[in-house]
Amino acid sequence: MSSNSRQVAASTPRTGPWIIGYVISLGVAMAATATGLITEPRYAALFWVPILGCTAMIIFTSWKRHRMLGTLSGAVRKFWRRIVLSASFMFASYCVLAYGQMAADWGPAAQRAAYIGALLGFAGMAWSIHQYALDETDEYLRSQSIRQLLVASFVTLMVVIGWQMVASASGLTGGSLGMVILVWFGGLGIGRLVNELRP
Amino acid sequence: MKNRLKVLRAERDWSQQDLAERLAVSRQSVNAIETGRYDPSLPLAFRIADVFGLPIEDIFQREV
- What confidence tens digit (pLDDT) does each residue in B24-47 have? 898 889 999 999 889 999 999 999
Shortest distance, CA A84 to any CA of chain B (angstroms): 23
Q: Is A2 at the interface with chain B, CB within 8 A?
A: yes
Q: Do A2 and B16 touch (CB under 8 A)?
A: yes
- Read off the pLDDT band of A8 (50, 70, 90): low
Q: Are B26 and A2 in contact (CB < 8 Å)? A: no
- Phi, psi dihedrals of residue B24, rounded to the nearest 5°: 60, 45
- At CA A50, angle to CA A49 and CA A55, rounded to 5? 100
Kindly identify which residue of chain A lies nearest to residue B34, measuring between CA atoms: A1
Please state the ipTM of this predicted complex.
0.85
Q: Domains in chain B, start-ordered, CATH in brackets? A: 2-54 (1.10.260.40)
Give the C-alpha separation, A138 to B21, whole Å.
12
Chains A and B form CB pairs within 8 A to the count of 44
Query: pLDDT class for A1, splitting at 50, 70, 90?
Result: very low
Has residue A5 got a pLDDT over 60? no
Residue of A nearest to B26 (CA): A71
Nearest-Cα residue of chain B relative to residue A4 = B15
pLDDT at A38: 67
Query: Rounded distance, CA A74 to CA B17, Å?
Result: 18
Amino acid at A115: Y
**Minimal-distance CA residue of chain B relative to A196:** B28
Instruction: Indicate the residue of B15, B24, B26 with minimum beta-carbon distance to A140.
Output: B26
Question: Which DSSP string corresponds to A82-119?
Answer: HHHHHHHHHHHHHHHHHHHHHSTT--HHHHHHHHHHHH
Q: Cβ B28–A199 below 8 Å, yes or no?
A: yes
Q: Report the amino acid identity of residue B18.
A: D
Condensed to tens digits (0 to 9), the pLDDT of residues A17-28 reads 888 888 888 788
Do the beta carbons of residue A98 and residue B53 sit within 8 Å? no
